């Protein structure tokens, strides 16, 4: 799992942003499924970081479309 900061996201191409979004969304679904089934994740803070990274990627994607 890769956690991207705003500066790193700005350096990615449009295709790379799309690919990373797919990977991170899949990982988030996997973690949420584990929690919903009554299990515990290894690192509960990881879910929060995944959500924030997805938001960063979506924000950059929207910013590029508007420009």
C-alpha 57/C-alpha 45 separation (Å) is 19
27 pLDDT above the threshold of 90: yes
Q: Are 9 and 60 in contact (CB under 8 A)?
A: yes
Structural domain that includes position 20: 6-66
Whether residue 50 lies inside any domain: the answer is yes
Give the pLDDT of residue 1. 65
Domain count, the chain: 1
Mean pLDDT of 44-51: 92
C-alpha 37/C-alpha 46 separation (Å) is 17
Residue pointed to by tokens 């690192």: 43
Whether residue 1 lies inside any domain: the answer is no
CATH of the domain at 18: 1.10.287.310
For residue 61, give the H/E element and its range.
Answer: helix 45-66
């Amino acid at each position: 799992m890769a956690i991207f900061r705003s500066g790193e996201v700005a350096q990615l191409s449009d295709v790379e942003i799309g690919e990373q979004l797919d990977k991170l969304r899949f990982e988030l679904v996997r973690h949420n499924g584990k929690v919903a089934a009554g299990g515990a994740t290894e690192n509960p803070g990881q879910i929060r970081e995944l959500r924030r990274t997805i938001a960063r990627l979506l924000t950059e994607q929207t910013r590029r479309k508007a420009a």
